[in-house]
Structure 1
Amino acid sequence: MFLGRNLNKEEKKIIKLTTSSHALVHLYEGVIPPLIPLLMLEFSTDYFHLGVVVTALSYAFGFGSLPAGFVSDRLGPKKLITAYLFGTGLASLLILGSSSLLFYGILMALVGLFCSPYHPASNALISQAIKEKGRVFGIHGIAGSLGVALVPVVSAWIGTCLGWQGPHILYGIIGILLGFYSLSIPGQKAAKKSPGELEKDNEAEQSISVLNLVIFFISAMALGLTYKGIMTFLPAYMGESVNIGGMTVNRVTMGGTVTTLALLSGAGGQYLAGRLVDRFSAEKLYLGSIVIGTVFVFIMAATTNLILIAASVVYAFFYFSTQPIQNYLLSRYFPRHRLGMGFGIHFFVTFGIGSTAAAVSGYLADSFGLKSVFYFMGFCFLLSCAASWALLLRTGAKKTAPPTEEITVTVSNR
Structure 2
Amino acid sequence: MNSNDRAIVALVSVAHGMVHTYELSIPIFVSIWLVEFDVLPLGLTQLEVTAATLGLVVTAGYGLFGVGALPGGVLVDRIGSDRLITASLFGMAGSFVLLGLSPNLLVVTLALLLWGAAASVYHPAGLALLSKGVAERGTGFAYHGIAGNVGTGLGPLVTAILLLFVDWTAVAVLLAVPALVAGAYAMRAEFDETAAVDEDPVPSDSAGGAASAVDGGSGGDGRADAGVASLAEFGVESRRLFAGGFALVFVVVMASGLYYRGVLTFMPNLLESLPGFDPIPLISVLPPAVTDALGVRAGSGRAINPERYFYSGLLIVGVLGQYLGGKLTDRIPVELGLAGGFGLLAVLGVAFLPAADAGIGPLLAVGAVLGCALFFVQPFYQATVAEYTPADARGLSYGYTYLGVFGVGALGGAIAGAILTYATPAALFATLAGFGAVGSGVGAYLLRRRRKVAERAELP
TM-score > 0.5, shorter chain as reference: yes
Does structure 2 retain, via aligned residues, the 8 Å contact 1:297–1:375?
yes
Q: How far, CA to CA, are the matches of 2:154 and 2:433 in structure 1?
A: 24
SS in 1 for 2:318: helix
SS in 2 for 1:303: helix
Which of 6, 19, 25 lines up with 1:12 in the alignment?
Answer: 6
Q: How far, CA to CA, are the matches of 1:261 and 1:397 in structure 2?
A: 42
SS in 2 for 1:17: helix
**Is 1:356 aligned with 2:411?**
yes
Q: How far, CA to CA, are the matches of 1:345 and 1:330 in structure 2?
A: 10
Matched residue count: 389
Residues 240 and 252 (structure 1 numbering): CA distance in 2 closer, same or farther, change over 3 Å? farther
Give, in angstroms, the shift of residue 335 of structure 1: 1.4
Q: How far, CA to CA, are the matches of 1:274 and 1:8 in structure 2?
A: 19
SS in 1 for 2:270: helix
Q: How far, CA to CA, are the matches of 2:453 and 2:366 in structure 1?
A: 31
Give, in angstroms, the shift of residue 187 of structure 1: 5.7
Q: How far, CA to CA, are the matches of 1:150 and 1:379 in structure 2?
A: 30
Q: What does the per-residue CA deviation read over 1:284-321, in whole Å, with 9 as the maximum and x for residues that have no partner?
A: 12211111221112111333122222112112212211
Q: How far, CA to CA, are the matches of 1:116 and 1:355 in structure 2?
A: 12
**Is 1:113 aligned with 2:107?**
no
Q: Name the amino acid aligned to 2:255.
A: A
Q: What does the per-residue CA deviation read over 1:12-41, in whole Å, with 9 as the maximum and x for residues that have no partner?
A: 121111111111101111222112232122
Larger radius of gyration: 2
SS in 2 for 1:223: helix
Q: Which residue of 1 aligns with 2:219?
A: none
Give unpaired runs (5+ residues) of structure 2.
39-48, 217-242, 282-301, 455-460
**Is 1:255 aligned with 2:259?**
no
**Is 1:311 aligned with 2:366?**
yes
Query: Hey, which of these two has a bigger chunk of helix by percent?
Result: 1
Q: Which residue of 1 aligns with 2:437?
A: 382
**Is 1:299 aligned with 2:331?**
no
Q: How far, CA to CA, are the matches of 2:119 and 2:139 in structure 1?
A: 24
Q: Does 380-389 or 124-133 show the bigger shift? A: 380-389
Q: Name the amino acid aligned to 2:99.
A: I
Does structure 1 retain, via aligned residues, the 8 Å contact 2:4–2:192?
no
Q: How far, CA to CA, are the matches of 2:205 and 2:108 in structure 1?
A: 45
Q: Does 372-381 or 349-358 show the bigger shift? A: 372-381
Q: How far, CA to CA, are the matches of 2:303 and 2:338 in structure 1?
A: 35
**Is 1:145 aligned with 2:149?**
yes
Does structure 1 retain, via aligned residues, the 8 Å contact 2:74–2:399?
yes
Q: Which residue of 2 aligns with 1:30?
A: 24
Give, in angstroms, the shift of residue 135 of structure 1: 1.2
Does structure 2 retain, via aligned residues, the 8 Å contact 1:274–1:325?
yes
Which of 173, 179, 192 lines up with 2:177 in the alignment?
Answer: 173
SS in 2 for 1:23: helix
Which of 334, 341, 344 lines up with 1:289 in the alignment?
Answer: 341
Q: How far, CA to CA, are the matches of 1:27 and 1:316 in structure 2?
A: 16
Q: Name the amino acid aligned to 1:155.
A: T
**Is 1:162 aligned with 2:166?**
yes
Which of 177, 200, 203 lines up with 2:204 in the alignment?
Answer: 200
Q: How far, CA to CA, are the matches of 2:36 and 2:164 in structure 1?
A: 13
Q: Name the amino acid aligned to 1:336.
A: A
- Computed over aligned residues only, the root mean square deviation of the Cα atoms, in angstroms, reads 2.4
TM-score by length of 1: 0.88
Q: Which residue of 2 aligns with 1:43?
A: 37
Give, in angstroms, the shift of residue 265 of structure 1: 2.0
Which of 227, 234, 259 lines up with 1:226 in the alignment?
Answer: 259
**Is 1:277 aligned with 2:329?**
yes
Which of 247, 250, 264 lines up with 1:217 in the alignment?
Answer: 250
Q: How far, CA to CA, are the matches of 2:108 and 2:405 in structure 1?
A: 24
Give, in angstroms, the shift of residue 267 of structure 1: 0.7
Q: Name the amino acid aligned to 1:21.
A: A
Give, in angstroms, the shift of residue 151 of structure 1: 3.0
